[in-house]
Amino acid sequence: MTTLEDCRALDAQDPLRPLRDQFVLPEGVIYLDGNSLGVLPKTAAARVAQAITEEWGQGLIRSWNSAGWFELPRRLGDKIAQLVGANAGEVVATDSTSINLYKVLSAALRIAAQDAPGRSKVVSERSNFPTDLYIAESLCREKGYTLHLVDSHRIGDALTDDVAVLMLTHVNYRTGAMHDMAGLTRAAHEAGIVTVWDLAHSAGAVPVDLNASGADFAIGCGYKYLNGGPGAPAFVWVNPKHADRFWQPLSGWWGHAAPFDFTPDYQPAAGITRYLCGTQPVLGMVALECGLDTVLAAQPLGGMAALRAKSVALTELFIRLVEERCAGQGLGLATPREPALRGSQVCLTREAGAYAIVQALIARGVIGDFRAGDGGAHEDILRFGFTPLYIGFEDVWNAVEQLRQVLETAQWQRPEFNQKNAVT
């Protein structure tokens, strides 16, 4: 049996432990939801205040140049590139994940139409994050494609010669299951299919090597493991071999080769800059940079490989403790047991009460979240994200102890934990 002392010893030996001091962690909270909204970096409040009072207040319009506002999407993109196996100049921070998906899926369909004409399908996973499916559904209608949804174990079989684009999320938001990006990209390319990868639950959480994987397009989220703050700008990467081939459809002036020439016609900028659209939210950008810096602070300590090793240790410990200490309470495991097949989260299932159990845990300061099942193959899920930058082994122990108490006392059955909120 694993003891609290064992967990404390693991924290004492953890070389990444000092990284936790970069964050504002509320007293009495164990935050296992960094996969939905990362925590606040200590630097962010002062940095945003400076951007408001000095750069906006005093610098005014001059700050587009003097404070580097205009360069923010590329400068932050270069920082994100270091975390996802891309090179400088290949990534921009911009817009939302949904909007970036619209741009890259459009471009991917155009490339497919040129390189492998006559194909009619976009393939994705049935349990992909809904916004990805909604954007794809709309684009498929507009361009005359069929969106073909399959279960994750059928993706290989679905890569037939009528498929134009394979669009997947690397780490599944519901189950935490992680795809083999390089392997699926290779299989897709062998069938002449263009690939689009969503890294929303990967960037800052698991090592990703976009260039080595040979992927065609990738997008990701700024407010999850990158700690960029609520509604932070997202990012987009395009394989350099495609970057100059097409305009993306939202051809706004920030993607123009010379936006301040104010010409009436559109001339796309070279490379990834053409994936910008319009004026960027500067205050959100500067907060995102603070978040990126918290992840880059791990570089001297082993970077994403070290973060991944700790993340695996945390998720292994959580699964083991739940199985040891909450045995007989009806919990199941929705996340793959094999560490190589999962991201940085663990999802539990329970036939009844999943929502209320999460609410009872939140009342005790253990913040995870709930994702509803569909009454069919997908069960209700209790979701716990483990951000290795700020979660420790003792936190895992304490979270499981609270879960044990909630279940053993049946406290979750109280009416106040069974009222549904708008945001789960």
Ligand X SMILES: *Cc1c(COP(=O)(O)O)cnc(C)c1O
Catalytic residue among 31, 383, 384, 386: 383
| Contacts with ligand X, 179-208, as mask; x by CB under 6 A | -------------------x-xx-------
Q: Taking contact as CB under 6 A, which single stretch among the options 25-33, 128-136, 141-149, 373-381 is the one that binds ligand X?
A: 128-136
Q: Which of residues 142-181 bind ligand X (CB under 6 A)?
A: 169, 173
- 347 binds ligand X, rule: CB under 6 A: no
Angle of helix 72-81 relative to helix 282-296, nearest 10 degrees?
20
Q: How far is CA 176 from CA 100, 173, 250, 403, in A?
A: 22, 6, 32, 20
Bridge partners of 122? 147, 165
Closest approach, Cβ 334 to ligand X, in A, equals 16
The answer to the question of residue 102 lying near ligand X (CB under 6 A) is: no
Q: Using the rule CB under 6 A, is 97 a contact of ligand X?
A: yes
With H, G, I as helix, E, B as strand and everything else as coil, classify residue 135: helix
**Taking CB under 6 A as the rule, does residue 227 contact ligand X?**
no
CB 373 within 8 A of CB 348: no
Number of residues engaging ligand X in binding (CB under 6 A): 13
* 43, 50, 82, 98: which one binds ligand X (CB under 6 A): 98
Which is nearer to ligand X, 173 or 390 (by Cβ)? 173
To the query of whether residue 14 is one of the catalytic residues in this protein, the response is: no
420 is catalytic: no
Q: What residue has token string 């490379």?
A: 271
Which strands make up the sheet holding 345-349, listed edge to edge? 332-333, 345-349, 381-385, 369-371
Rounded CA separation 46/40 (Å): 12
With CB under 6 A as the contact rule, which of the stretches 93-101, 154-162, 205-213, 390-398 interacts with ligand X? Answer: 93-101
Pick 78 or 95: Cβ nearer ligand X: 95
**Would residue 223 show up in a list of annotated catalytic residues for this protein?**
yes
129 is an active site residue:
yes
Give whichever of 94 and 349 is closer to ligand X, judged by the CB atom. 94
Nearest to 243 by CA among 202, 288, 274, 281: 274
Question: Within 228-257, which residues bind ligand X (CB under 6 A)?
Answer: 234
Residues in the chain: 424
| Helical packing angle, 393-408 and 303-325, nearest 10° | 30
- C-alpha 189/C-alpha 66 separation (Å) is 45
Residue among 98 and 267 whose Cβ is closer to ligand X? 98
94 binds ligand X (CB under 6 A): no
The reply to whether 288 sits near ligand X by the rule CB under 6 A is no
- The alpha carbon of residue 87 and the mean position of all alpha carbons in its chain are separated, in whole angstroms, by 19
Shorter beta-carbon distance to ligand X: residue 234 or 360:
234
Q: How far is the CB of 12 from ligand X (least distance, A)?
A: 34
Using left for φ > 0, alpha for ψ between -120 and 50, and beta otherwise, residue 259 falls in alpha
**Binder among 43, 50, 82, 96 for ligand X (CB under 6 A):** 96
Q: Which of 14, 132, 198, 369 is flagged as catalytic?
A: 198
Concerning whether 274 is annotated as a catalytic residue, the answer is: no
Asked if 397 and 315 count as a contact pair (C-beta separation under 8 A), the reply is no
Q: Which is nearer to ligand X, 98 or 398 (CB)?
A: 98
- Measuring CA to CA, how many Å separate 277 from each of 62, 205, 238? 21, 28, 15
For residue 383, state whether it binds ligand X (rule: CB under 6 A).
Answer: no
Contact window for ligand X (CB under 6 A) among 24-32, 91-99, 249-257, 414-422: 91-99
Give the HSE-up count for residue 331: Cα atoms under 13 Å, Cβ half-sphere: 27
Q: Active-site residue numbers? A: 129, 198, 223-224, 383
**Residues in contact with ligand X by the rule CB under 6 A:** 96-98, 129, 131-132, 169, 173, 198, 200-201, 221, 234
